[in-house]
Chain A
Amino acid sequence: MNDQGRILKFQVFRYNPQKKGDKPRMVTYEVTEAPGMTVFIALNDIREHQDPSFQFDFVCRAGICGSCAMIINGQPTLACRTLTSTYENGEIKLLPLPGFELIGDLSVNTGKFMRAMSERVESWIHDADADEVDFHRLEERMDPDVADQIYELERCVECGCCVSACATKRMRPDFLSAVGFVRLARYALDPRDKRSDEEFYEIIGDDDGVFGCMTLLGCEDYCPKDLPHQTQIAYLRRKMALVR
């Protein structure tokens, strides 16, 4: 397929809440496609050559930092991992991730949300005896399979795609959402975390937690890292349903 030199049409959401009198609008930019171009590269091109005030987030450009998540032609995904050649008609519509505080244009404050989520699920190892660790002794060994399961869940880059893809979360803003469940499942699996099921229940045992999940599976279907949201939420649901 020879798509070199193709003119791409980007329809981009523009709005700066900081600027007085600014109104949300869609602006069209034209970019000449280059071989292997990603949406992220095209956005940089626009900012460099057409509009320096254009706001969007990126750090790693390699799908590791999770900063450049946005809605690309209706799908929440990472701009740096989306090739422009995917879109045959060369028209690409970009919206900021819904469900997050808008900083400006395509930039949203996922950091604030993720911080609050981490605090809500108390995203750290809980061990009352942690202060009495004997440093002269070896740590207890972890089963390699359990370690693998934990690492699998730690691949989350907190991009926020699962939050934006979840109609439940959109309708009920206090809903914890998939990123929180996966995080909590990670600690529930970890033998070093001594929290009991009753204590996990205190965090997710209501309709803002795991029982609020209506299993629409947007999280599972739009995770750029292919994390197993469905099985993990089911795991937590079974666990929490059995708490007496």
Chain B
Amino acid sequence: MDSYSIESHKKKSRFPARLDFLQSATGLVLGVFVWVHLLFDSSIILGKGAYHFVSKNLELAFLSETGHGFPIAVFFAALIIFTIFIIHALLGVRKFPISWKQHRILRDQMQMLDHSETSLWYVQVVTGFLMFFVGSVHLYTMLTNPAGIGPYLSADRIVSGNMWPLYLVLLVCVVLHGNIGLYRLCMKWGWFAGKDARKSRQTLQKLKNRVIVFYLTIGVLALLVFTVIGINHRDKVGERYMGHAMAAEGTQDLEESQPVESAQEMEAAEVVEAPDAVEAPEAIEEAEVAEDPDVLEEAEAAEEAEDLEAAEALEETQPVEQSHE
């Protein structure tokens, strides 16, 4: 068949199409990953036991006989995510208003036109840029110290390791960038358009806003709970949380120690409240509410803990384990 294009003698490269698709695909994977990741992180709100359970199982503990899991799984997960993250950053940076002139025009345009979608895109540019750094630090930590993630290690990292400012910035960036991006993906490719694309867009906009509020809330709460645990645990940095071992000693002990621990946490929370001043009272409430299911879960875990030897082994390794800072 004859060709109609004026420039038909030279075929256009398919690269732009592949790159555009790849940018969307990597963004989709990262966005959904962050959804799941933050949900798992927030299990700390339910208690140390819940977080321990989640982190152990993410190390594929259910596959190993000793219940130790394979920290190498975390390493590979981090490696894959880091790779996708770098590809996405590389592709995303093509769209940045990279020259002064482009940036000037964009700012002028935003000043002239009060258009939320354009502003949201600028938010993505800024948060994306910040994540080059904060995201990389976090991913590098996961690559180099994949082992032993648990409530105490994470809390120590956040408080004694001074990582809380980084995690706070990363949380805000990733929640905004990711969810705005997922919404934009739907618009870009016409997903979930249904019969009335405009109505679907409004629904997706609302959904996006709610998801952002939800993840920011549980994210900040989780960070606060970690901070409380971390401050409480400041003198014992490096000690690992022994869900099964502690439970194996008997639920009686745990229950007895509960009020004391709670009081300690209250004190700690009060200390935190002043410098942070971010929904601290609610966090305390949450933390208190979270105590009961925590104990229950540990009690259940104790009943299920048949492998006492393994528990003892864990206990023995305890002093050897050092914090990853």
Closest Cβ–Cβ distance, residue A201 to chain B (whole Å): 6
Which of B8, B14, B97, B114 makes the CB contact (< 8 A) with A243?
B14
Is A167 touching B121 in the complex (CB atoms < 8 A)? yes
Q: Which of B48-56, B188-196, B231-239, B297-305 contacts A (4 or more CB under 8 A)?
A: B188-196
Interface residues of B in 1-27 (CB under 8 A from A): 1-8, 11-14, 16-17, 19-21
Flag whether A225 is at the interface (Cβ < 8 A).
no
Q: A215-B188, A217-B187 in contact; A95/B112 too (CB < 8 A)?
A: yes
Flag whether A171 is at the interface (Cβ < 8 A).
yes
Q: Which of B29-37, B78-86, B101-109, B168-176 contacts A (4 or more CB under 8 A)?
A: B101-109
Flag whether B240 is at the interface (Cβ < 8 A).
no
| Residues of the A chain whose Cβ atoms lie less than 8 Å from the Cβ of B3 | 199
| Residues of the A chain whose Cβ atoms lie less than 8 Å from the Cβ of B198 | 228
Is B102 touching A171 in the complex (CB atoms < 8 A)? yes
Interface residues of A in 174-207 (CB under 8 A from B): 194-196, 199, 201-203, 205-207
Is B184 touching A215 in the complex (CB atoms < 8 A)? yes
Flag whether A216 is at the interface (Cβ < 8 A).
yes
| Residues of the B chain whose Cβ atoms lie less than 8 Å from the Cβ of A221 | 115, 117
A243 CA to B114 CA in the complex, in Å? 37
Flag whether B197 is at the interface (Cβ < 8 A).
yes
| Residues of the B chain whose Cβ atoms lie less than 8 Å from the Cβ of A207 | 16, 94
A28 CA to B115 CA in the complex, in Å? 26
| Residues of the B chain whose Cβ atoms lie less than 8 Å from the Cβ of A170 | 105-106, 108-109
A195 CA to B5 CA in the complex, in Å? 9
Interface of B is mostly: helix
Q: Which of A53-61, A144-152, A234-242 contacts B (4 or more CB under 8 A)?
A: A234-242
Is B4 touching A171 in the complex (CB atoms < 8 A)? no
Closest Cβ–Cβ distance, residue A70 to chain B (whole Å): 12
A172 CA to B109 CA in the complex, in Å? 13
A172 CA to B95 CA in the complex, in Å? 10
Is A165 touching B5 in the complex (CB atoms < 8 A)? no
Is A202 touching B12 in the complex (CB atoms < 8 A)? yes
Chain A, residues 13-50, CB within 8 Å of chain B (1/0): the string is 00000000000000000000000000000000000000
Is A216 touching B117 in the complex (CB atoms < 8 A)? yes
Is A218 touching B189 in the complex (CB atoms < 8 A)? no
Flag whether B208 is at the interface (Cβ < 8 A).
no
Flag whether B136 is at the interface (Cβ < 8 A).
no
Q: A234-B188, A238-B190 in contact; A216/B114 too (CB < 8 A)?
A: no
A201 CA to B10 CA in the complex, in Å? 12
Is A234 touching B187 in the complex (CB atoms < 8 A)? yes
Flag whether A122 is at the interface (Cβ < 8 A).
yes
Closest Cβ–Cβ distance, residue A7 to chain B (whole Å): 25
Which of B2, B7, B13, B109 makes the CB contact (< 8 A) with A167?
B109
Flag whether B207 is at the interface (Cβ < 8 A).
no
Q: A122-B5, A231-B193, A241-B17 in contact; A215/B187 too (CB < 8 A)?
A: yes
Chain A residues within 8 Å of B, Cβ to Cβ: 71, 74-76, 95, 98, 122, 126, 128, 165, 167, 170-172, 194-196, 199, 201-203, 205-207, 209, 211, 213-218, 221-222, 228, 230-231, 234-235, 237-238, 240-241, 243-244
Chain B residues within 8 Å of A, Cβ to Cβ: 1-8, 11-14, 16-17, 19-21, 94-95, 97, 102, 105-106, 108-110, 112-115, 117-118, 121, 184, 187-190, 193, 197-198, 201
23 contacts between A and B (CB under 8 A): A75-B114, A95-B112, A98-B112, A170-B109, A172-B102, A199-B4, A199-B5, A201-B17, A202-B5, A202-B12, A205-B16, A216-B115, A218-B113, A218-B117, A218-B118, A221-B117, A228-B198, A230-B197, A231-B190, A234-B193, A237-B189, A241-B20, A243-B14
